[in-house]
């Protein structure tokens, strides 16, 4: 689907409302953030969701399936927003770069808890799904790689290590989920402006 078609359908990668998760996943997210995956029991998740343990198992047969279901929704949302941001930006590498960085920053601010669980609990995933999850992360990283490589090829960015710079930019954005607070000194838009400056410096952008 093209960027214009997505917009026509009412989708906007900058729009964030309340997290839309089924009660079991919402309960699992809160418990994983508070106690970690291994420190959380199925009984606690069921209680937070207002379900019995058998009732929870009717929807999700294991604690692992809850973690996988949560991370799959997280990555689907992240990838969709990144793709829409790049599509909307058009062909200019700098505009694409700014868009994908802004998208990553906004996601890791507004979906901070989901992003935090995704970063910290990859070690808790079963081997089969871990490969799927790593594939999602690789797909996201390759989006940033392509934009940076295009910028270098077009003479917009001067970094001598495009892929290394792209990884550093992605890490900068992901790291926001570990420290961002909605009641912090700076609001989201101000933080995006500052972090875009940092990201541009990493790839060697110098304004004319």
CATH code for the domain of 187: 1.10.357.10
Q: What is the pLDDT of residue 181?
A: 87
Question: Which one has a higher pLDDT value, 100 or 208?
Answer: 100
Q: Mean pLDDT across the stretch 120-143?
A: 96
DSSP character for 2?
A: -
- Domain count along the chain: 1
Q: Mean pLDDT across the stretch 133-137?
A: 97
Q: pLDDT exceeding 90 applies to what percent of the chain?
A: 86
Residue 190 in domain: yes
Report the chain's mean pLDDT, rounded to a whole number: 93
Residue 133 in domain: yes
Residue 88 in domain: yes
Q: How far apart are CA 105 and CA 111, in angstroms?
A: 10
* pLDDT per position as a tens digit, 47-77: 999 999 999 999 999 999 999 999 999 999 9
Is the pLDDT at 115 greater than 80? The verdict is yes
Residue 180 in domain: yes
Question: Which one has a higher pLDDT value, 77 or 3?
Answer: 77
pLDDT band at 10 (very low <50, low <70, confident <90, very high): very low
Q: CA angle, 167 as apex, 143 and 36 as ends, to 5°?
A: 100
Q: What is the pLDDT of residue 9?
A: 40
Cβ atoms of residues 116 and 33 within 8 Å:
yes
Long-range contacts of residues 145-149, Cβ cutoff 8 Å, at least 24 apart: 147/86, 147/93, 147/96, 147/97, 147/100, 148/97, 148/203
Q: How far apart are CA 85 and CA 40, in angstroms?
A: 36
The residue assigned the tokens 């490969």 is 131
Cβ atoms of residues 180 and 109 within 8 Å:
yes
Is the pLDDT at 2 greater than 80? The verdict is no
Q: Where are the alpha helices (DSSP H) in 90-126?
A: 93-110, 112-120
Q: What is the pLDDT of residue 182?
A: 85
Is the pLDDT at 208 greater than 90? The verdict is no
Cβ atoms of residues 173 and 108 within 8 Å:
yes
Residue 164 in domain: yes
Q: What is the pLDDT of residue 11?
A: 58
Range of the domain at 144: 70-203
Instruction: Provide the whole-model pTM.
Output: 0.90
Is the pLDDT at 180 greater than 60? The verdict is yes
Is the pLDDT at 6 greater than 70? The verdict is no
Question: Which one has a higher pLDDT value, 208 or 174?
Answer: 174
Q: How far apart are CA 116 and CA 204, in angstroms?
A: 29
Residue 13 in domain: no
Residue 8 in domain: no
Q: How far apart are CA 47 and CA 34, in angstroms?
A: 15
Task: Enumerate residues 6+ apart whose C-beta is below 8 A from 182.
Answer: none
Residue 123 in domain: yes
Q: Mean pLDDT across the stretch 5-28?
A: 79
């Amino acid at each position: 689907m093209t960027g214009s078609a997505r917009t026509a359908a009412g989708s906007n990668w900058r729009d964030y409302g309340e997290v839309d998760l089924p009660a079991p996943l919402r309960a699992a997210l809160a418990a994983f953030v508070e106690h970690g995956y291994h420190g959380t029991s199925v009984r606690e998740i069921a209680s937070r969701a207002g379900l019995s343990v058998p009732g929870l198992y009717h929807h999700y047969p294991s604690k692992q399936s809850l973690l996988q279901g949560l991370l799959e929704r997280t990555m689907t949302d992240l990838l969709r927003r990144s793709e829409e941001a790049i599509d909307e930006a058009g062909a200019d590498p700098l505009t694409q770069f700014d868009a994908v960085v802004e998208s990553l920053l906004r996601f890791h601010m507004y979906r901070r808890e989901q992003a935090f669980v995704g970063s910290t609990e990859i070690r808790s995933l079963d081997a089969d799904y871990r490969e799927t999850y790593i594939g999602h992360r690789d797909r996201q990283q390759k989006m940033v790689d392509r934009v940076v490589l295009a910028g270098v090829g077009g003479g917009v960015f001067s970094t001598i290590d495009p892929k290394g710079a792209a990884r550093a930019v992605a890490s900068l954005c992901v790291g926001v989920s570990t420290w961002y607070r909605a009641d912090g000194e700076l609001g989201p838009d101000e933080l995006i402006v500052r972090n875009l400056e940092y990201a541009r410096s990493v790839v060697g952008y110098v304004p004319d």
